[in-house]
Structure 1
Amino acid sequence: MALAESTSLPRHSQRLLGTLLGDYWFWRPEPLPSAALVEIMAEFGLAEQAARAAMRRAAARGAVVATRSGRTTAYGVPARTRETVVAHLTRLLRFGAGDRRWDGRWTMALFTVPEEERETRRTVRTRLRWLGLAPLYDGVWVSPWEVGDRVAAVLADLGVETATVVRAEVVTAGAAGDPVAAWDLAELRERYTAFLAEHAGLRERVRAGRVDPAEALVARTHLMTAWREFPDVDPELPPELLPADWPLPAARALFVEVYDGLGPLAERRFAELVGKHDPALAALAAHRTSADVLRGENATAIPAGEEPWIGPIGE
C-alpha cells in the first residue's frame, strides 16, 4: 500500500514530516516554506492536501511553528523540540554500537496500579517500554541498565505511589524467572534476520554507486523507519546474556553502512527540493552520520519519561 493510501495517513504523514526535519534540518531556527515541504513529502507519494494537513496538525500540537510572510506560510521546529529531535536521533544511531558495559545488576520496577485506572496503567507501560524495560511478571518490570532514576521519575510523574525501584544482582532464578525471559529472543532474532535480508540488496547497490539522490532520500528514510523499531523492542541486552551468534551487530553494521553512505546523496536531494523555493535555505540543509553521534556531536538526553513526537514513518 502506498503511503498516501494508508488508513493511518494523518499519523504517518506527521511522522514523515518529523523524520525529514530530524534528518536534514536538525536544530535550524529558520522555517522552511510549506511549498518546499510539500514537494519533499511528495517524494514519498504524499499528495499536497495530505502534506499540508500534516503540517497543520503538527503545528496544532506545537511540534512545529507556523509563520506567515504575505501569502507564504513556513514551518520551523521549536527550540525544545529541536533538542528532542537530536536526542531521538542519537538514541537511534547509538543503538547496537556495543559501547555499553554491564555491571551484572538489574533495574527492577515493582508497582501496582488499580485496575480501574486503566489509562494510567497504559501510560506507565508505554513509558517503561520507552526506557527499555519489559514485564517479567505482572507489576515487575526489568532492565539490565542503570535507569532507576528515570523509572522513578516516570512513576512519580504519573502518581504511582505503590512502587519500588531497585538495582540488584539476581541470586537465583528458574527458567521462567530469568530476567532475560522478559524478552522473546526468538522473535527478536527473526526481526534482525528479516532486516538483513530485506536491505541486503540496497547495501550492494550503495557499494556499487547505483543509487541516485532521489532514491537515496526515500531509501534512507525507509531504512531508518525499519531500524527505528528495534530500540522499542530490544533493550540492547548485554552480550553476556545473549547467544554468540546474536544478529544485532550484523544488522547494525548494515544499517550504519547504508544510512551513512546515503547521507550525502539524500542531503543533496533535500537541498535541491528546498532550493526550488529558497536557495539560501537550501545551503543550510545537513545530514549527520552514526560516526558524528558516537563522537558526541549534538548528543543530548531525552527527559525522563518523555516520548518524542519525531519518528520515522509507520511508527
Structure 2
Amino acid sequence: MTSLAPLNQLITRFQQQTPLRASSLIITLYGDAIEPHGGTVWLGSLIQLLEPIGINERLIRTSIFRLTKEGWLSAEKVGRRSYYSLTGTGRRRFEKAFKRVYSSALPAWDGSWTLVLLSQLPQDKRKQVREELEWQGFGAISPVMLACPRCERADVVATLQDLEVLEDTILFETTAQDVLASKALRMQVRESWNIEALAAQYSEFIQLFRPLWQALREQDELQPMDCFLARTLLIHEYRKLLLRDPQLPEELLPGDWEGRAARQLCRNIYRLVQARGEEFLSSALETADGPLPEVGESFYRRFGGLK
C-alpha cells in the first residue's frame, strides 16, 4: 500500500476485478513503459515491478505464457533467466491502440464520410464485419450500412481483406459538406454510436482519477513508486476507454462532452508523475545487458510534450 488514499483505492479496485485482467495490464505496461526503453525485460524484474499492484508471481507467469502463445510476446533465454519482448505483430497491435492515447489533438474534419454497405453479405458474416469495423470507429446507420467520419481507407480495405469480404462489400466515400453537423446528423450520431453510454464511462473515469490528481498535487515530494503505480493505472484505464471511443470529430459531439475533461485530466496526471515514475522503472527493471536503456526523443512528445 502507498501513503496516497486515492491511489490505494484504485489499486483495490483493480484487484477486485473478476477475473483479474493481468494480461491486459501487462500489455499496458509494455506499451507505456517498457517499449520506450527498448522493449525487453527480465521476467523476474517484471514480477517485482507488479507486486505492489497485487498481481502474484503465479498469475504473472500464467499471463506471460498466454501473451506469448497469442503472439504478443517472445522469449529469449540467457542462462537461467528469461527475457520477454514484444513481437513485431505485438508491436504493431499496440502502436495502433496507443497512438490514440498520447496524441495531442485529432486532425480537423472536412465533413467527408466513409460508408460500407453490407447488404450482399450473409447475416453471420455481416455481424462479424460490423463488430470489427466498430472497433475502428464505424457506427451503424442502418442494419446494412456502416459509416465513419474519419478513417483511413487503407485500414478499412485491409480489414475487409483479412475478413475475406472485400469482394462482397461496397465501399463509398462522400465529398466534404458545407454544413458539417446538422441537427439530424447529430441526432443520428447519438443513436449510432451510443454517445450517452460512453459519456457515462468518461464521467466515471474523472470521478476515479480527480481525487488522485488532487492528492498528488498536495504532496511536498512525489514518491517514485507512487508515480509509477499512478501512471500505470491511469494509462490502463484511459486506454480501455479509448478502445470504446470512435474518436468522432468535435462538430459531431455534444458541447459538454466528458471526453474532453477526461483527456485533460489524463494529460495533467501523466505529466506530473512520468519523471519520478521513470526513476522507479529504471531502478526496478533489468535487461540482459543490465539497466534499462534511455528513452528516445519520441517519448517526450507524448500528450503534446513532456518536461
Structure 1 83/162 Cα, relative in aligned 2: closer, same or farther at 3 Å?
closer
Shift of 1:255: 0.7
Aligned amino acid, residue 229 of structure 2: V
Shift of 1:263: 1.0
Counterpart of 2:154? 149
Cα deviation, 1:174-223, whole Å, max 9, x if unaligned, reads 57983453122322332222222221111112323364222222221211
Counterpart of 1:40? 49
Shift of 1:83: 4.3
Q: Is the 8 A contact 1:213 1:268 kept in 2?
A: yes
Q: TM-score if structure 2 supplies the norm length?
A: 0.80
Counterpart of 1:313? none
Counterpart of 1:259? 270
The SS at the match of 1:245 is: coil
Question: Which of 143, 160, 164 pairs up with 2:170?
Answer: 164
Structure 1 285/39 Cα, relative in aligned 2: closer, same or farther at 3 Å?
farther
Q: Is the 8 A contact 1:124 1:158 kept in 2?
A: yes
Counterpart of 2:246? 235
Gapped regions of structure 2 (runs ≥ 5): 1-11
Counterpart of 1:183? 193
The SS at the match of 2:71 is: coil
Shift of 1:288: 8.3
Shift of 1:46: 0.8
- How far apart are the structure 2 equivalents of 1:251 and 1:77? 29
Aligned amino acid, residue 75 of structure 2: A
Aligned amino acid, residue 186 of structure 1: E
Query: Which residues in structure 2 correspond to 1:274-289 (within 5 Å)?
Result: 274=285, 281-284=290-293, 286=295
- How far apart are the structure 2 equivalents of 1:205 and 1:288? 30
- How far apart are the structure 2 equivalents of 1:158 and 1:122? 12
1:14 equivalent in alignment to 2:23: yes
Q: Is the 8 A contact 1:108 1:166 kept in 2?
A: yes
Question: Which of 280, 295, 302 pairs up with 1:269?
Answer: 280
Shift of 1:27: 5.6
1:110 equivalent in alignment to 2:117: yes
Counterpart of 2:76? 67
Q: TM-score if structure 1 supplies the norm length?
A: 0.78
The alignment of Structure 1 onto Structure 2 pairs a total of residues equal to 288
Q: Is the 8 A contact 2:282 2:292 kept in 1?
A: yes
Q: Is the 8 A contact 2:186 2:253 kept in 1?
A: no
Q: Is the 8 A contact 2:130 2:146 kept in 1?
A: no
Gapped regions of structure 1 (runs ≥ 5): 298-315
Q: Name the one with the larger helix percent.
A: 2
Computed over aligned residues only, the root mean square deviation of the Cα atoms, in angstroms, reads 3.2
The SS at the match of 2:132 is: helix
Q: Is the 8 A contact 1:2 1:45 kept in 2?
A: no
1:198 equivalent in alignment to 2:205: no
